[in-house]
Amino acid sequence: MKELLTNLRLAAGTAREHLADDPALLALQVSRRMPSRLVRTLAKAATKAAGPGSSNGPVLLAGLMAGEDQDVVRRLEAALTHGTPSAAHSRAMADVALVANRPDLADSFLRHSAGARHHRAAQARRFWYDGDVSAAVGILDGAASGAERRQRNRLAAELRLLEGWTPTLAPVPYEPRQRRVLHVLTNSLPHTASGYAQRSHSVLLAQKDAGWDTMAVTRVGYPVQVGKLAARHRDVVDGIAYQRLLPARLAPTVDGRLQQQAEALLELALEFRPAVLHTTTHYVNALVTRAVAEALGIPWVYEVRGQLADTWASTRGPEAKNSQRYRLFQEREAEAMRSADLVVTLGAAMKENIVSAGVPGEKVLVAPNAVGGDFLAEPRPAAEARSQLGLDPGALYIGTVSSLVAYEGLDDLVSAFALLAPQHPRLKLLIVGDGVALPALREQVRAAGLEHRAVFTGRVPRHQAHQYHQALDVFVVPRKDLSVARDVTPLKPVEAMACARPVVASRLPALGEIVEDGVTGFLVSPEHPHGLAARIAELLASKELRKAFGEAGRKAVLETRTWQANARALASAYANLMEALR
């Protein structure tokens, strides 16, 4: 009961903060924590009841929740064309336009919202969207309302962090215990089932199996801040302990929270007594971990799994890379990598980027995404896997298991499926996973008249993930041609290859490290649905080719990409770090 009360206080504070900072975004985030089918049904009913001419804020948000993005844009444009909205209405629609990634429309509404309550707060969100952090802070200077003053303080703290702030801890007497490692994570199982969480768990399991004492701790406020109100303050999954840092009250700004996290992490480390600290992107994890490692006098490892600045920029357009936020974010990442005792990353393309940021190549260890557990077992035939999952065993299935975000390019997969469907009456689409792109993908399938031939599972239990890989005849990775996709090697195609499934993927450097064109699958031009459909059709036409690619892929993964091999490489690297400190 005490834990629940603490969680509720923490959740209430988080909700108040987000309601003041970005109410439109908060509404969408809350909807994504609810059952997707229920949200979609209610949202569609709301937009239909309101009529095609309504541009009220709740109606527009309901449209986004239902995946009717084009209709939302139409309503916004109509509101500008058919008269001048009131200042208050314009401010609300500016916020919706930003959430819909239409900053041009947001600008039009902001021109009509002067004098509206919280007008400056909306302007700050607009600057923040573009990555102009100083302008976002500056527009709120001298704010009259308490909410806007608090918003300014939070944004000013974000700017301090980007410009070099770091937590501080005094050195403490310390004696580590050998072969003991503490991982500092952003999120984890059982509350988050992303590729990030799966990789973390697999690394921890492999290290445990190799004789290391392991523990993981997640960022301060997680998982309550993502809606898990009944979360326990410690979880044990497959024998791996995940410690939560859940104070009853979080500091009001990001720098205060990171100082809170550093102090709590130090206290935990003094109890667990690790010989090494191991954290992951992005740089805020590195700042906290470095401060604790320096206080204890032990080495720390920074695992670069992604490029969050590029992930952010991928939703903004090419001009985002010239923004203040992008530049400062990249500088902080580079500084974190250079200060770590060891940098771990996923592939050759990512290592090249890390070295170009000034990190010596000998200080970078490549530990690729890999497989273990159920993925090592001999895969079952697709029809058998489909029967166990309640799917049509006699159909042909193409699809993916993925986080459903824009840069994954799943709209191109749906377009390719629409091209293939008329010539392949047994063909079905299977998309496993959840994310912000799910409503729009469902709407795209509906608009193509293919709802009866598409399956969207949403999130699935972790123990069933390999079954969904095996249920597919062709696994598709149609990532967009963006920096985040060119450089970051994903986990799911590796798991698909372990399941002996051929992979059709975008021809990008990171995916070329996984898929050998013409041997384990096909590489195709990104953002080209016709080319994607042609290669998928080639595989659908030949069971023998699917089998040959699948067998070659499984052999390659088992030889080069297992968590056990990664654990051995990490253990050796840890030993070298500890020896260097003696």
In this prediction, residue 176 carries a pLDDT of 96
Residue 260 has which token pair?
């809170």
Cα 308 to Cα 325: distance, rounded to the nearest angstrom? 12
pLDDT at residue 13 is higher than 80? no
Tell me the average pLDDT across 206-232. 94
Task: Write out pLDDT tens, residues 248-269.
Answer: 889 999 999 999 999 999 999 9
Contacts of 423 (CB under 8 A, 6+ apart): 537
pLDDT at residue 168 is higher than 80? yes
Structure-model confidence comparison of residues 489 and 317, the more confident one:
489
* CA 349-311-473 angle, 5° bins: 70
To the nearest 10°, report the CA torsion of 391, 392, 393, 399: -70
pLDDT at residue 362 is higher than 80? yes
pLDDT at residue 581 is higher than 80? no
Give long-range contacts, CB 8 A cutoff, 24+ apart: 21-25.
21/121, 21/125, 21/151, 21/154, 22/95, 22/99, 22/125, 23/95, 24/57, 24/61, 24/92, 24/95, 24/96, 24/98, 24/99, 25/95, 25/99
In this prediction, residue 7 carries a pLDDT of 80
What's the whole-number average pLDDT of the chain? Answer: 94
CA nearest neighbour of 245 among 258, 169, 237: 258
In this prediction, residue 307 carries a pLDDT of 87
Q: Got the DSSP string for 477-528?
A: E---SSHHHHHPPPSHHHHHHHTT--EEEE--HHHHTT--BTTTEEEE-TT-
Cα 282 to Cα 309: distance, rounded to the nearest angstrom? 9
* CA 241-244-249 angle, 5° bins: 170
Tell me the average pLDDT across 136-144. 92
Structure-model confidence comparison of residues 449 and 435, the more confident one:
449
Pairing state between β 240-243 and 234-237: antiparallel
Task: Write out pLDDT tens, residues 505-541.
Answer: 999 999 999 999 999 999 999 999 999 999 999 999 9
Cα 536 to Cα 516: distance, rounded to the nearest angstrom? 16
What is the pTM for the complete model shown? Answer: 0.92
CB 224 within 8 A of CB 17: no
Helix (H, G, I), strand (E, B) or coil at 474: strand
CA nearest neighbour of 47 among 21, 77, 68, 19: 68
Same fold, 180-366 and 376-561: yes
pLDDT at residue 5 is higher than 80? no
Residue 468 has which token pair?
């969904």
Answer yes or no: CATH 3.40.50.970 is held by domain 180-366. no
- What share of the chain in percent tops pLDDT 70? 99
Task: Write out pLDDT tens, residues 117-131.
Answer: 899 999 999 999 999
Tell me the average pLDDT across 23-29. 80
Residue 95 has which token pair?
């916020």
Contacts of 576 (CB under 8 A, 6+ apart): none
In this prediction, residue 194 carries a pLDDT of 87
pLDDT at residue 456 is higher than 70? yes
In this prediction, residue 518 carries a pLDDT of 98
Cα 173 to Cα 579: distance, rounded to the nearest angstrom? 19
Beta bridge partners of 180: 213
Task: Write out pLDDT tens, residues 78-104.
Answer: 999 887 789 999 999 999 999 999 999
In this prediction, residue 18 carries a pLDDT of 65
Task: Write out pLDDT tens, residues 363-417.
Answer: 999 999 999 999 999 999 999 999 999 999 999 999 999 999 999 999 999 999 9
- The domain locations on the chain are 2-116, 180-366, 376-561
Phi, psi of 448 (to 5 degrees): -85, -5
* CA 468-470-473 angle, 5° bins: 105
In this prediction, residue 500 carries a pLDDT of 98
In this prediction, residue 144 carries a pLDDT of 79
CA nearest neighbour of 525 among 515, 516, 535: 535
| DSSP collapsed to 3 states, 329-391 | HHHHHHHHHHHCCEEEECCHHHHHHHHHCCCCHHHEEECCCCECHHHHCCCCCHHHHHHHHCC
Cα 204 to Cα 210: distance, rounded to the nearest angstrom? 10
Cα 67 to Cα 43: distance, rounded to the nearest angstrom? 9
In this prediction, residue 363 carries a pLDDT of 97
| CATH number, domain 376-561 | 3.40.50.2000
CB 540 within 8 A of CB 427: yes
- What share of the chain in percent tops pLDDT 90? 79
